[in-house]
Structure formats: structure tokens, C-alpha cells
Amino acid sequence: MQRLKTRMNQVPLTPPTPSDIVRAAERLKGVAVRTPLLRSDVLDERLGGRVFIKAECLQRTGSFKFRGAYNRISRLDDAEKARGVIAYSSGNHAQGVAAAARLTGTTAKILMPLDAPRAKVEGVEFWGGEVVGYDRATQSREAMGREIAEREGRILVPPYEDPFIIAGQGTAGLEAIEQLDEAGARADAVVCCAGGGGLIAGVGLAFKHHDATTEVWAAEPAGFDDHKRSLESGKRETNAQRTGSICDAIITPTPGELTWQLNARQLSGGAAVSDDEALDAMAFAWRHLKIVTEPGGAAALAAVLAGHVPVKDRTVCVLVTGGNVDREMFGRALERL
């Protein structure tokens, strides 16, 4: 992977390698949580396969996003840290950046949509991040982020279009592979949510390097299944709208340019999950796995529970990626039990 260029907030669009994920894991050791790989007899019997749940909702700040944020920000030198960082996010990347900034001795300003869950806003504020609101339906967070970076001299930390971010997220996949090996298992498929595609790009890279036959499936909100449609058309597709799903954490306009370089060749398929399916998955995770997850974080579990990804007679690893959910939304899920 080419050296990161930070002077003008530029990142060379060169995807990371499996070795970069290993180096990211070394950097994150003792800082990030080695999240558990869970099993459920109820889940296995219901789906007719062997399912392993990678519980990234138990990661520091409540989602996998801390991995990539810390791997990126911890590489800044003292002069860059003095300038601070700027990021945009609906909440999970925001919290990861705010936490990584405090832990590495810099400051963070975060652009968050006005409809972001309050739990995520409070998470950013807990870590000392400064929140700036924007309207995701009418304003471009990318343009706003670039303008603030140029005006204030801050380092832009994008949510997925960065090789160090992707490599950091890929450590969740590397951990899952190690844990599967410890259990004497190999994955026929790994299922992961996809917004901009940073997590699934890193996780897919780790799994494909370990075993090229492992299938990689993207789970997305219905109406925002740009990865699924991009696979079908062979080019990056754009969603028609920017709002309209409870899975706020994984609503993005189109697959990332950098992430798509990996995902275009790594993905086996995509699954679009409805709001009801996401709520059902949240309820199932609480009742049978004893974990709390948010709608977007439950998308991959929703995809397998709803039958969108083949599981019968196979071993499948599913990432539950975030647990930052408001009480009202979680209540909607529990009402379905």
C-alpha cells in the first residue's frame, strides 16, 4: 500500500493488501476489543446450517468503525495531530473517529445528519468530538467536509475511501478467521453489511486471502442495494434517494470508488433487507444471542434469517456490526417478539 499523503488530505486510491490488514491488527492490539464469535443452537436449527456470529456490536464505541478510525488516525505525526481531524458520518464512524482522536492526542470535528440517532450523537460528545449537523437529503457531507478541512487545516478521515480505514476494518475478518480456525471450522460464506463498502472490502480481502472459495455476501437496506445492483450491472450504481430506511448506518449514495476495486472482484452476491426484516433480526439477536444491535448492524443477520443468503448445510460467518440504537427503535424491535 502506498504511503498516505496527508498534506492536502489526499489518499492514493490504492487498495490495501492482506499484509496491510496484518499490520493494522498489530497496531490495534491492546486497543481494540477482540470481539467474540457467537453460536446459537436455535439459529443453526432454524437455518439448517452452522452459523457463527462475529459480534462487532461489542467493539469499542459499539461498532467495527473504531478499528479503521484508529488505524488511520494513529498514523498521524505530531504536526498533523495539532491540526485535528474532520469526518462525516451518521454516527458509528463518527464515534470511532472521536474515540481514536482522543486516544491519540488530537481533536475531532464531526459532520452528522440532523436525523442521526441521539445515542450516536451522545457517543461522539462523550469522546469530546464537536458535532456539526447537516441535512442528508439536501446537503453534501463530502463537500462540507472538504470545505472545513481546507478552511481549518484539519485532516479528512473518510468513512471508507481510505486504504488504512479498509485495512483496519479488515481486522474484524482476520479475527473471525482465527476464531473459526480455533473452532475447527472454515466458512463457506461470510455475510456483512455494506454501506460505502469499507468493512466488506476489508473483511472480504481477509477471507479471500485465507480461502479463495469462501463466498462474500453484501447485506444492504431495500432501496439502497447499490452493491447488489452494481454486481448485476458490472458498474457502480447510484441509489435514487438518500433517506428512507431505518438502517441509517449503511445508507450511502453509491459504492466507494476505492472499495469497489476490491468488492467488484470479491463479492459473490448481495441481499436487500426490509425494515421489518432488520427489526426481526434485532429481536432475534436480543432473545437468542443476548446482544443489542442497531438496524444497520443487524442487516447481515437479517439477510440470513430471511433466507436471502443460502445457509442450509453450510458454515456461514455473519457480522453483527453495530449496537448504537435509540431506546425507541430498540423498543420497536422487541415489540415484534
**pLDDT tens for each residue of 56-76:** 999 999 999 999 999 999 999
pLDDT band at 24 (very low <50, low <70, confident <90, very high): very high
pLDDT band at 2 (very low <50, low <70, confident <90, very high): very low
pTM for this prediction? 0.94
Share of the chain above pLDDT 90, in %: 91
CATH 3.40.50.10490 fits 18-64+162-334, yes or no: no
- Beta strands 50-55 and 37-38 are antiparallel
Q: Are 227 and 201 in contact (CB under 8 A)?
A: no
Q: Are 216 and 187 in contact (CB under 8 A)?
A: no
Domain with CATH 3.40.50.1100 in the chain: 18-64+162-334, 66-156
pLDDT of residue 116: 87
Mean of the per-residue pLDDT values for the chain?
95
pLDDT of residue 150: 95
- Beta strands 108-113 and 189-193 are unpaired
pLDDT band at 11 (very low <50, low <70, confident <90, very high): very low
The whole-angstrom separation of Cα 272 and Cα 313 is 22
- Residues annotated as catalytic (active site), given as ranges: 65, 90
Q: How many CA within 13 A on the CB side of residue 266?
A: 28
- Mean pLDDT for the stretch of residues 18-38: 98
CATH 3.10.20.30 fits 66-156, yes or no: no
